Structures are given as structure tokens and as C-alpha cells.
């Protein structure tokens, strides 16, 4: 009887796990389908004619009509979306008018630069923001807490493009502490064969330490700018989570037992607060991947944001839609990953 009960319990657990996985996959599929639909509709309502981007504004009406037919723009909207969805599922976003390359190849070439910049920015924001938030929570109401909150408020309120311009003016133009805009100096271009797409990683793998040092010098300023933007959010949420945990009874019990204040804070309060904090960090990372367009434009960073901006300025709609869909899919995936991590780290949410 015990074996039967155990088997039934195991089957029930497997059934619940299967339902959870199926629900997760279904939600992801519906969300991504909605993203494809929104991206497609954006491409049809923006005041840009993709036909003119291909044939030019001085083409004859016959050439214009033929190009419009070849692009499938003369078909009903529902049929256009069905054809577009089929191409997207095959990884076919068309060719870029600007680079003449398949859009997917361009994304593979430009997206690693954005990934590199956003990753370093998130690391800076996390390594500085978490201790700063803990310190503000421990000293709530003090001058340290007020300064931390002001730092976060500035990071939230001031436009990132203005901060980027001021940072270039001060650290590059005036003090000469930072490198010029760009990913690397011209002298170091094409010295490293792309392996992972990250110039810092690839230069180390190939032993090109001069290229690594130069690339690091170039990435520090834009990464610190994104790190400050991330820090403002992470420090604020860390303060809120830790402050809530410090008011719980288990913290009072740990103090009564004679545990040191540092151990109470870092080993107990922060450990519990780390569960929702992981979700905050993942969402902050997704935000940097999605919102680095202005930063990449200011610092001439050859990432997906710069690619999207240049494509939009040149009416390259295949590239615009492909890059938009890539960024949106990345954000949706990381958002759902954060929900999954939260359920894994907090057993109370699994039911």
C-alpha cells in the first residue's frame, strides 16, 4: 500500500511538473507570436515605404509596381502576415538594403557587441548596487541612505543620452581619461578572428593582449554609464527587500542568539532577499539589452542598437523589423526566465 501511495504521489508530481512545463511553453509561444504580430503591424503602419528603399524615389511606376508585387505588399494583410510568420519561423528576415546581407547574418554580427556591453554594465550595476542597497537598508534614515536614494533618483530621472554626452565631454574631451567612441582603435581592427563575438573574450582566447587592453579601454565608459543606470534600479530594490527582511522575526531571533550583525545581514537577511533580487537583476539585464540604443549611438558602439538606428534612418525595413523582433524576443525570453528562476528559488511559488 505504501508503494502504491508513493507511486501515485510520484505520478501526481510528474503530472503537475508536466502541466507547468506545458503552460510555460504555451505562454512563451503565445507571447512570441504576439510579438511577431506587433512587429509586423509596426512595419505596415510606419510612414516609410519599403518599396522606395529598394527601387529609389526616381523609379518609374512600372518598376515600383513590380517591386511591390515581388515584395508581396499587394496581397491582403492577413496573407502578408502568414507569409511573414513562415519566413520568421525559418529564420528568414530578408536582406538588408543597407548592407545587402541577410538580416539574420547582420544580427549575428552586431548582437554580440550589445551582449558584451550590457553584460559588463549589469555586472557593474550588481557589484556596486547590491552592497549600496544593503548599506542603505542597514542605515535607513541616515545620510548614507539619503545619498544612496538621491543617486538612484538621478539614475532614474536624467536621460541616459544626456549623461552619455556629459561623460564624453568630461572624461574624453576634457580629462582624456576615456577612449574615443567606438569599440576599438582603427589600428586594432580585424586583428582578432571572431569566435564568440565578444572582442574582450576573443582577444584573450587568441592571445592578443594589446587588442584586449584597447577594447577594455573603449568599453569602460559606456559600460559604466549602463552600469549606473542598472545600479539605480538594483540598489533601490535591494534596499527595499533587505529593509523588509530586517523587520522579520527570524532576524530578531538571530540577534538574540548572539550572532554578529554582519552575519545577520549578509548570511540571513540578504540570503532571503536574494530570491526576488535575482529576478530584478535579470530584468535589469534585459532592460539594458533592449534599451542600449541611445548609448550605442552616442558612443558609436557597433551593436544591435546602432544597427537598428542606421537601418531606420535609411528606411531599411527588413533590418528594422528583424532587429526589433530580436530585441523583443530577447526581452521576453529573459522576462520568462526570471519568472522561472523565481519559482525555482522560492518553493512557496511552485504550487
Domain range list for the chain: 13-89, 103-349
The fold adopted by the segment(s) 103-349 is MetI-like fold (1.10.3720)
Closest-CA residue to 327 (of 96, 81, 93, 111): 111
Tens-digit pLDDT profile for residues 85-124: 888 888 888 888 788 889 999 999 999 999 999 999 999 9
Nearest to 93 by CA among 313, 329, 303: 329
The per-residue pLDDT for 217 is 93
Residue 10 has pLDDT above 80, yes or no: no
Nearest to 280 by CA among 351, 335, 326, 345: 335
Confidence label for 11 from pLDDT (cuts 50, 70 and 90)? low
| Model pTM score | 0.82
CA distance 279 to 292: 20
Q: Could you write out the DSSP letters of every residue in 126-164?
A: HHHHHHHHHHHHHTTTSHHHHHHHHHHHHHHHS-HHHHH
Secondary structure class of 341 (helix, strand, coil): helix
Question: Of 195, 226, 225, 222, whose CA–CA distance to 211 is shortest?
Answer: 195
Q: Where are the alpha helices (DSSP H) in 206-316?
A: 209-245, 249-256, 261-263, 270-291, 293-298, 304-313
Comparing C-alpha atoms, which of 9, 101, 107, 72 is closest to residue 323? 107
For residue 1, what pLDDT is reported? 45
Look at residue 212 in the predicted model and tell me its pLDDT. 94
What percent of the chain is modeled with pLDDT above 90? 21
Gap between the terminal Cα atoms of the chain: 26
pLDDT at 322 exceeding the cut of 50: yes
Q: Per-residue pLDDT tens for 255-307?
A: 888 888 888 888 888 888 888 888 889 888 988 887 677 888 889 899 888 88
Q: What percent of the chain has a predicted confidence (pLDDT) above 70?
A: 92
The CA distance from 205 to 277, in Å, is 33
Distance of alpha carbon 241 from the chain centroid: 23
Q: Torsion angle, CA of 240/246/250/251, rounded to 10 degrees?
A: 150
Each residue of 16-65: pLDDT tens digit?
667 766 777 787 788 888 888 887 887 777 777 777 767 777 778 888 78
Please report the pLDDT score of residue 323 as a whole number: 87
Under the banding of pLDDT at 50, 70 and 90, the label for residue 346 is: low
Query: In whole angstroms, how far apart are CA 348 and each of 245, 336, 343, 345?
Result: 17, 18, 8, 9
Give the model confidence (pLDDT) of 165-210 as tens digits.
999 999 998 988 888 888 998 888 888 888 888 899 999 999 999 9
Amino acid at each position: 500500500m505504501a508503494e502504491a501511495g508513493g507511486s501515485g504521489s510520484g505520478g501526481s508530481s510528474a503530472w503537475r511538473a508536466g502541466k507547468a512545463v506545458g503552460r510555460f511553453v504555451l505562454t512563451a509561444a503565445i507571447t512570441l507570436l504576439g510579438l511577431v504580430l506587433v512587429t509586423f503591424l509596426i512595419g505596415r503602419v510606419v510612414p516609410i515605404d519599403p518599396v522606395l528603399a529598394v527601387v529609389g524615389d526616381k523609379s518609374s511606376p512600372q518598376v515600383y509596381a513590380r517591386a511591390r508585387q515581388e515584395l508581396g505588399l499587394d496581397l491582403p494583410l492577413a496573407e502578408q502576415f502568414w507569409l511573414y510568420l513562415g519566413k520568421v519561423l525559418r529564420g528568414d528576415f530578408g536582406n538588408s538594403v543597407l548592407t545587402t546581407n541577410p538580416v539574420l547574418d547582420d544580427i549575428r554580427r552586431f548582437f554580440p557587441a550589445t551582449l558584451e556591453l550590457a553584460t559588463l554594465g549589469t555586472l557593474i550595476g550588481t557589484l556596486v548596487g547590491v552592497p549600496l542597497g544593503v548599506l542603505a537598508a542597514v542605515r535607513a534614515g541616515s545620510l548614507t541612505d539619503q545619498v544612496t536614494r538621491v543617486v538612484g533618483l538621478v539614475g532614474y530621472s536624467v536621460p541616459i543620452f544626456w549623461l552619455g554626452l556629459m561623460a564624453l565631454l568630461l572624461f574624453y574631451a576634457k580629462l582624456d581619461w576615456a577612449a574615443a567612441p567606438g569599440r576599438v582603435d582603427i589600428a586594432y581592427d580585424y586583428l582578432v578572428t571572431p569566435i564568440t563575438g565578444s572582442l574582450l573574450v576573443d582577444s584573450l582566447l587568441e592571445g592578443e593582449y594589446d587588442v584586449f587592453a584597447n577594447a577594455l579601454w573603449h568599453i569602460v565608459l559606456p559600460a559604466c554609464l549602463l552600469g549606473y543606470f542598472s545600479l539605480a534600479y538594483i540598489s533601490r530594490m535591494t534596499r527595499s527587500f533587505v529593509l523588509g527582511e530586517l523587520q522579520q522575526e527570524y532576524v530578531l531571533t538571530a540577534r538574540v542568539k548572539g550572532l554578529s550583525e554582519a552575519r545577520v545581514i549578509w548570511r540571513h537577511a540578504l540570503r532571503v532577499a536574494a530570491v526576488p533580487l535575482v529576478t530584478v537583476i535579470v530584468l535589469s539585464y534585459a532592460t539594458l539589452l533592449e534599451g542600449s540604443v541611445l548609448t550605442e549611438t552616442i558612443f558609436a558602439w557597433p551593436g544591435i542598437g546602432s544597427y537598428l538606428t542606421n537601418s531606420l534612418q535609411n528606411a531599411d525595413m527588413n533590418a528594422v523589423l528583424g532587429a526589433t523582433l530580436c530585441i523583443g524576443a530577447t526581452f521576453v525570453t529573459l522576462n520568462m526566465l526570471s519568472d522561472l528562476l523565481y519559482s525555482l528559488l522560492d518553493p512557496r511559488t511552485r504550487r
